[in-house]
Amino acid sequence: MLTKMWLIGICLLVGVFLLSCSQSWVRQAPEKGFHGSLDGSFRYGNINGFLQIPSGGGPGTTSNARPKLHEIGINHAPIGDPSLTLEWGDNQIYAGARFARLSGKDTLVSTLISNGTTFPGGSSVSANTQLDWYRGVMNIVLLIEIVKERLSRFTLR
Whole-number Cα distances in Å, 100 to 6, 23, 44, 63, 64: 43, 38, 10, 24, 24
Taking the C-alpha atoms of 108, 114, 118 and 124 in order, what is their torsion angle to the nearest 10 degrees? -30
> For the whole model, what pTM was predicted?
0.62
Confidence of residue 138 (pLDDT cuts 50, 70, 90): very high
Of 6-10, 105-109, 135-139, 150-154, the poorest mean pLDDT is in 150-154
Domain range for 46: 34-156
- Residue predicted with more confidence, 10 or 94: 94
62 domain-assigned: yes
Q: Which residues pair with 46 in a beta bridge?
A: 76
Whole-number Cα distances in Å, 138 to 63, 88, 141: 43, 12, 10
d(Cα 147, Cα 143) in Å, to the nearest integer?
13
12 domain-assigned: no
10 domain-assigned: no
1 domain-assigned: no
Rounded to 5 degrees, φ, ψ at 92 are -150, 145
pLDDT of residue 40: 95
82 domain-assigned: yes
3-state DSSP assignment of residue 21: coil
Q: Which residues of 4-26 are buried (b: 16+ CB within 10 A; e: fewer)?
A: eeeeeeeeeeeeeeeeeeeeeee
Q: How many domains does the structure of the chain reveal?
A: 1
* Beta-carbon count within 10 A of 34 CB: 10
Residue 80 has pLDDT above 80, yes or no: yes
